[in-house]
Amino acid sequence: MIKNYVVVISAKQQLFIRKVTEIDKKIIREIPQAEAVELIAAGKAPRIVQPTEGASYEPYITSKPELAEIDWSKTQQQLHNFIRGNDKVPGAWGTLNGEKVTMFGSKLWREPVPPPEAREIEVPEIPGGKVYAHEGGLLLPGSDGKWVSVDTVKVGSKTISAHKYGLAEEKGEKIVLTPEETKVVEEVKKIWGAILKMPIEDDTDFFESGGTSADVTRLVEEIKFVTKVELDNTDIYMGPKFEENAEAVIRKMRGGDKITIEYDPIIMNVNNMELKFPHELFIDGKFQPSSSGRLFDTINPNDESVICKVSKADVNDVNKAVAAAKAAFEKGEWRKMSARERGKRLYKLADLMEEHKEELATLESLDSGAVYTLALKTHVGMSIDVWRYMAGWCDKIEGSTIPISNARPNFNLTITKREPIGVVGLITPWNYPLMMLSWKMSACLAAGNTVVIKPAQVTPLTALKFAELSVLAGIPNGVINVLTGSGSEAGQALADHPDVRKIGFTGSTEIGAQVMASDIDGLIKRANKTEYGLAAGVFSKDVSKVLRVSDRLQAGTVFVNTYQKTDVAAPFGGFKQSGFGKDLGQEALNEYLQTKTITFEY
């Protein structure tokens, strides 16, 4: 059926359409198509100025910046909507202590008051006379007594994290350049001059000199091409003066941008190397003692000597770790970054594990009693492989479109999305400690979740060393948390926590039954009466017999004419009392994803 629509337009719009149409007809009539292509290629095509009379578009918000000024008489919701509506271009702004401050990245503050540790800043221009800087940004008051939090502010031409607003600017020590570095600075100055088309001084401000966001991209790319130094766009916004930009380039050339982490290390000389590793809990990107201060000994099974004392987590530590993981999942950088960027971080983590593989293997051998060569090849080697494999899956997790019956005369479209589930608790066993961590956590993080892991009490050290490497790989704070201690205390508290959306567990059947009983007591009675079904092996040269037997074997994995031949791309997991769910392969991702169905009508 053909539908007829009536569109009502004003007389001015009609005049505008007629004028544009007449111009188009004139161009088409006067210039043949082939000739037009040649004129464009030669840069001689006629330029027709678009008529302004009757045109409906006016870039009012950029040409009239006063329209982006914040009205402090608005409520929390109105203030939040206004700042969000002006995000990035041109940015909602207000006067704070006599200077123009532009605000970006607004969020509704759900608490009735600012946090107790927030820094109070007096601002006479705002009703109430105060704003508060806190860890997540800057709190601004609405007229209804509620608050919004902005994460970034621009003061003058310099963009800073909002929580730093009101602090005196830290002046770093001026760097002394080598002759080679002086040449690099001169090259950077030429790039600035070519973009801004003006002489460049140390205090030349990129944005005050006419630089735009498009110019920022060009600046970053040209610096990378000439100096091989890779800056981020935010480096320019955070340091818009030439001197700041030149210093940023030189510091990166010197390796000054490398991530570091501080902790109280255990240092040993073992296996012809100096072994340095943490021994405290890892929560929200920091190593810290347990809240109770308790410690336990981790023992070398080879000679039963004490390797070191390790922090012992309790319920309070579990609560802190889960809260950190929840915050990282709901509002942290991990959730905001693209799937491809997440994959890059996991690739970087795998590279660091390979770089430190001898240390990891030595630590694994000390802590679990594994033969060093086995630990190096299998425990660590396969761990590296699975991290790389899962890193490649990050940007390949897809939904689908599903044909459904249309609600005639309208049409319908149904799609599915694969979404991360949230905070995942992992409990891993004493054998293959690093490999069990990697099998589970790699899929969990590739899917976009955050994690709290409790490694076996008797083999905690490689998990803590892994946590150190995760920081160096750029994994954001709170995404990975490691709690060492007993299963009956820390492990059970993790399984019972209401904010933990899923538990990944590998261990004994008895402990697995306890973990499940904490949710639904009667669910596993039948499973406890059945036999095991992790893996089976068939050895025969008769192919038909092999296929018949493997079909009838009730085991999660069947090996034919081999045994224990696993691969990171092949799903691994048992049936019956040997467990359910899969590690490794694409199936492992499904353990940490949930499917959302969305139906449209149009």
Which tens digit of pLDDT belongs to each residue from 44-78?
A: 877 777 666 655 554 555 567 778 889 999 999 99
Helix axes 339-355, 357-368, angle to 10 degrees: 70
User: pLDDT band at residue 527, thresholds of 50, 70 and 90?
Assistant: very low
Quote the CA–CA distance of 363 and 341 in Å, as a whole number: 30
CB 536 within 8 A of CB 464: no
Bridge partners (DSSP) of residue 96 are: 99
Question: Using an 8 Å Cβ cutoff, are 350 and 391 in contact?
Answer: yes
Dist. CA 448–CA 334, nearest whole Å: 7
Summarised one tens digit per residue, pLDDT across range 143-182 is 998 999 998 888 877 778 888 888 866 555 567 888 898 9
- Spatial contact of 305 and 299, defined as CB atoms under 8 Å apart: yes
Name the token pair of 457.
């009490």
Average pLDDT for the chain: 81
Q: What is the pLDDT of residue 525?
A: 41
Q: Work out the pLDDT band at 235, boundaries 50, 70, 90.
A: confident
Position 190 scores a pLDDT of 92
For the residues 370-399, what does the mean pLDDT come to?
Answer: 90
Q: What is the C-alpha separation between 363 and 300, in angstroms, rounded?
A: 10
Per-residue HEC secondary structure of 71-135 comes to CCCCCHHHHHHHHHHCCCCCCEEEEECCEEEEEEEEEEECCCCCCCCCEEEECCCCCCCEEEEEC
List the single range of 401-405, 465-469, 496-500 with lowest mean pLDDT: 401-405
**pLDDT-wise least confident of 133-142, 149-158, 591-600:** 591-600
* Nearest-10 crossing angle of helices 357-368, 381-393: 120
What CA–CA distance (Å, rounded) separates 248 from 235?
A: 8
Distance CA 149, CA 162 (A): 9
- Residues near 400 by Cβ (< 8 Å), separated by ≥ 6? 415, 416
What's the CA gap between 119 and 114, in Å, rounded? 9
Q: Top-level CATH class of 179-254?
A: mainly alpha
Is the pLDDT score of 316 beyond 90? yes
- Which residues share a beta bridge with 560? 538
d(CA 277, CA 579): 33
Could you give the CA distance from residue 485 to residue 20 in angstroms, rounded to a whole number? 75
Q: Which residue has the higher pLDDT, 240 or 287?
A: 287
CA distance readout (Å), 269 to 207, 299, 334, 460: 53, 17, 37, 19
How sure is the predictor about 136, in pLDDT bands with cuts at 50, 70 and 90? confident
Q: Give the sign of the dihedral formed by CA 101, CA 105, CA 107, CA 111.
A: negative
| C-alpha distance across the termini of the chain, in Å | 16
Which strands sit side by side in the sheet containing 450-454, from one edge to the other? Answer: 286-288, 281-283, 480-482, 450-454, 423-427, 500-505
- Location of each CATH 3.10.25.10 domain in the chain: 65-164
d(CA 375, CA 379): 5
Pairing mode, strands 557-560 and 535-538: parallel
pLDDT at 169: 62
- d(CA 131, CA 147) in angstroms, rounded, equals 9
Q: What average pLDDT does this structure show over 307-316?
A: 94
Cis peptide before 90 (omega within 30 of 0): yes
pLDDT band of 331, cuts 50, 70, 90: confident
User: Where does CATH 3.40.605.10 sit in the chain?
Assistant: 265-398+420-505
Q: Does residue 537 carry a pLDDT above 80?
A: no
pLDDT at 7: 45
The region of weakest confidence among 3-7, 72-76, 422-426, 539-543 is 3-7
Residue with tokens 């929390």: 76
Name which of 8-12, 217-221, 592-596 the model is least confident about.
8-12
Residue 372: both structure tokens together = 């060093």
Give the pLDDT of residue 559.
Answer: 73
Q: Where in the chain is the domain with CATH 1.10.1200.10?
A: 179-254
Strand-pair category, 500-505 with 423-427 = parallel
pLDDT for res 63: 62
Which CATH superfamily does the domain covering 65-164 fall into?
Formyl transferase, C-terminal domain (3.10.25.10)
Distance, CA of 497 to CA of 452 (rounded, Å):
11
Q: Which residues pair with 537 in a beta bridge?
A: 559
Question: For residue 240, is pLDDT > 60?
Answer: yes
Return the CATH class of domain 265-398+420-505. alpha beta
C-alpha closest to that of 447 among 423, 419, 473: 419
On the question of pLDDT at 491 being above 50, the answer is yes
Identify whether the C-beta of residue 419 lies closer than 8 Å to the C-beta of residue 596: yes
Closest C-alpha among 410, 471, 399, 467 to residue 434:
467
SS3 (DSSP) at 147:
strand
